[in-house]
Chain A
Amino acid sequence: MDLKANVPSGPIDTAWSRHKFEMKLVSPANKRKYNLIVVGSGLAGASAAASLAELGYEVRCFCYQDSPRRAHSIGAQGGINAAKNYANDGDSVFRLFYDTVKGGDFRAREANVYRLAEVSGNIIDQCVAQGVPFAREYSGYLANRSFGGAQVSRTFYARGQTGQQLLLGAYQALSRQIAAGKVTMYPRTEMLDLVLVDGKARGIVTRDLVSGKVESHAGDAVILATGGYGNVFFLSTNAKGSNVTAIWRAHKLGAGFANPCFTQIHPTCIPVSGDYQSKLTLMSESLRNDGRVWVPTKAGDNRKPRDIAEGDRDYYLERRYPAFGNLVPRDVASRAAKAVCDEGKGVGPGGRSVYLDFADAIKRLGEGGVRERYGNLFDMYERITAEDPYKGPMRIYPAVHYAMGGLWVDYNLMSTIPGLFVLGEANFSDHGANRLGASALMQGLADGYFVIPYTIGGYLASTKLAKVDREGQDFKRAEVEVNERTKRLLGNKGKRTAMSLHRELGKLLWENCGMARNAAGLRATAARIPELREEFWSQVIVPGSGSDLNQALEYAGRVADFMEFGEIMCLDALERSESCGCHYREEFQTEEGEAKRNDAEFAHVAVWEYRGPGQAERRHTEPLTFENVHLAQRSYK
């Protein structure tokens, strides 16, 4: 497997400029001769589709939702980072780069991260121009707030709905191109396979989720912006439809899958309330700016939170990490919450939650001040739990949130399959083993607005592309496979629903490949998953037909892919004999219980190659070198 990262040589701070100049261009008159396929319409997909259409390419964009505006980027609450240094507090491109590499626990590629920091300011400019209603000061200038893992205020936000507003900006830009006839939009359409012709990505097979029609689309390049795979755990903060299918099918055709064991567990989510739970709701990390996290000092203290005196409370983040306090990065905060709950100090039913308390903030800012900053989050908490967070502390617990792992891409965001580009959460590139808060929106939009418009031109201008036709045999073969799979799912006479099997898989992974992992648990789980997969294919019951709207069928197909993907997650976690970022192997910890990296052996990206059914996947590595940020033990003390 060729893992050439194609990073420009020479100084990092001018690498992207040089690369942009060195890439070949597609002339304006020729752009309209290229057909590009974009799968996904979230921040990365919508911004890419709109920007490429503005350049003159013919674009087709696909999403499973009924409208591109509903992609799950919309759920992001807290904000978007940019190295504007409007706050005059010492921020710079280099500092954002440094924080991101360090926050990712030195498992990201330096050059990609530097470019991300470099274009971060342009994103804010672009979004403001689109009419994104960012929060403002009374001066009329943009407001900033601080976020976990950083000591500067560089986060731009639109109340607690930043993802929504940024996505609507991208969606509106996309809509303009749809009206102009430059983008053809296919909502309620799911990609079920990738098609390669002569080893290059040249199209996809889709299923119309209303009519059930399976058809092919041919193009000159394929861009996957299909989000993360967190729903493999069943319970996560992802939308119910979020899935691994698009990138998994690409993986099975030759795209290397990088660091699948890197899944971010977000520290501040509303705890599980029962067996029927269908998803977990995130409470923005921005709440940790003003909320204080604590548990009772004594295990089993069942008093009401307001009856517990200051002296009987353990503000454990402030105690363990005095420099960052409640603003430590997500992986650290999540593990700390798990640790206090494991000690029996957790609160609420089952003892699996901690308090996030705003009493001090309300004293300092008044209820109105807190409402202005977090009103919609407080309302959401109250709607879900029926508890009023203005009167007592919230209860929170970590939940699966974001996939740092994803398809391997080079500096041009191209996977190991020529012509297959991967953007946003679906790729692995920028966040290493832990993503900092407010960096997902930044990366999705950087990839879509400011990276792919250049790099795809470089690919198209320097690649000879034969004419392909969706009536060709490569397409027909893929369609047959898709149809057979559907038939197999529908024809099964089992006794279990896809949801019950998915729940079982999720529980297994949460317990063994979640916040803490060990070799024995991972080995057992990697062995158990193939059995569960067998059970899925022999026991799953999928009602209805394939020729109309059938949500149970859509869902079963996604679960089938999770059943395969879960195994490689465990194997990846097992092979990585170190702790780093979100990946916490119990065998590898410092005396203080922090993650202990092994840079000598694991300062690399692990990339998995599919080698056919029944064959073990092969693990490759891309070594990571750190020339600009010194490898060091992360410390937030």
Chain B
Amino acid sequence: MNVVLMVWRQENRDTAGRLQRIEAKDISSEMSFLEMLDVVNERLILAGERPIAFDHDCREGICGSCGVVINGTAHGPRRGTTTCQLHMREFHDGQTIVIEPYRAKPFPVLRDLVVDRSALDRITAAGGFVSASTGSAPDGNAIPVAKPKAEAAMDAAACIGCGACVAACPNAAAMLFVGAKISHLGLLPQGQPERWMRAEAMVAAMDREGFGPCTNVTECAAVCPKEINLSVIARMNRDRMAAVFLVARRSPRGDTA
């Protein structure tokens, strides 16, 4: 098949970008989307042109490196699928495919389709963990976890941190990402001691990084390749609200009483 790419090209963070038209001829419908880009890049290199920069690594839908906006949708047309697992059979011969980077103020473009998502790491560092230092753990079976709770925690923990939720949201909100981590840890007994602090700290970090508010557009869940449920946002809001009320019970040193 032949397709026409309209690809975002941008030298670096400080320069303006533009869409470049590239004809991709003789593409197999069995190729993955990124394999199609590989083929295009090989041709660009041989023609003495600069290949298209894009993030990718595992190519099996789990590392969260890849992610571009394809014809207006983060990760492209297939639900519950990362860009690397999307195949060219989802497109038709002669189609024009517009490929853009994730667009959000907290995700500056580094080059072409590569964006800086380190804001998500900083949110995790603010509180997205259980403070269990190595060696301090009791036996794994010391604390039973009800199966439905464990399953619900796993549903939330499936987030791959790709940032598609942010790219899809008109407010560039990161609430699906943050809510997923707060839900994952907040559902488990191991996550209880720091539950309120975690919610407060992660939400504060999210605001600090410049992510927008949630106005219930729900685009985030629609594009999420791991189909994280919107209910994680409700849980995040509830935990964070509870944290606000608990502030009154804090000691002057800032410890939760």
Residues of A within 8 A of B (CB): 47, 50-51, 54, 65-72, 74-75, 84, 86, 121-122, 124-131, 133-142, 156, 158-159, 161, 163-165, 168, 171-173, 175-176, 178-179, 185, 187, 210, 237, 239-241, 273-274, 276-279, 281-282, 379-380, 383-384, 386, 449-450, 453, 495, 497, 499-500, 541, 543-544, 548-549, 551-552
How far is the CB of A32 from the nearest CB of chain B, in Å?
A: 16
Bound state CA distance, A277 and B130, in angstroms?
A: 40
Q: Are A128 and B121 in contact (CB under 8 A)?
A: no
A135 to B42, CA, bound (A): 43
Q: CB-CB contacts of B125-156 with A at 8 A, as 1s and 0s?
A: 11011111111111111011111001001100
Contacts of B31 in A (CB 8 A): 274, 276
With contacts A69-B161, A277-B35 known, what are 13 further pairs, Cβ within 8 A? Answer: A75-B62, A122-B135, A124-B140, A130-B132, A138-B147, A159-B158, A187-B121, A237-B60, A239-B58, A380-B60, A383-B81, A449-B134, A548-B111
B252 at the A interface (CB under 8 A) = no
| Shortest beta-carbon distance from A503 to chain B in Å | 10
A287 to chain B, nearest CB (A): 15
Which residues of chain A come closer than 8 Å to B42, judged between CB atoms?
A: 497, 499-500
Q: B138 near A72 (CB under 8 angstroms)?
A: no
Q: How large is the interface on B (under 10, 10 to 19, 20 to 34, 35 or more residues)?
A: 35 or more
Residue of A nearest to B48 (CB): A543
The 6 closest A-B CB pairs, nearest first, are A140-B144, A129-B137, A172-B129, A129-B132, A125-B137, A179-B125
Q: Judging by beta carbons under 8 Å apart, are A131 and B188 in contact? A: yes
Cβ-based interface call for B73 (8 A): no
Residues of A within 8 A of B30 (CB): 273-274
CB neighbours of B130 from chain A (8 A):
129-131, 172
Between-chain CB contacts (< 8 Å), 11 pairs: A72-B63, A136-B146, A175-B129, A210-B110, A239-B63, A240-B57, A240-B59, A279-B60, A383-B61, A495-B46, A497-B42
Report how far A136 CA is from B233 CA in the complex, Å. Answer: 25
Is B207 in the interface zone, CB < 8 Å from A?
Answer: no
Q: Which B residues are CB-close (under 8 A) to A47?
A: 134
Measured in the bound complex, the distance between the Cα atoms of B50 and A548 in whole Å is 12
Tell me the nearest residue of chain B to A68, going by C-beta. B121
A499 to chain B, nearest CB (A): 6
Q: Which residues from B are CB-within-8-Å of A72?
A: 57-58, 63
Chain A residues in 8 Å Cβ range of B125: 175-176, 178-179
The residue of chain B having its C-beta at the shortest distance from the C-beta of A376 within the complex is B158
A281 B60 Cβ-Cβ under 8 A: yes
Known contacts: A133-B157, A552-B51. The answer to whether A128 contacts B35 by CB under 8 A is no
Q: Once the chains bind, are B144 and A141 in contact (CB under 8 Å)?
A: yes
A136 lies within 8 A of B145 (CB): yes
* Bound Cα distance A69, B160 (Å): 9
Q: From B38, B46, B80, B110, give the contact of A549 (CB < 8 A).
A: B110
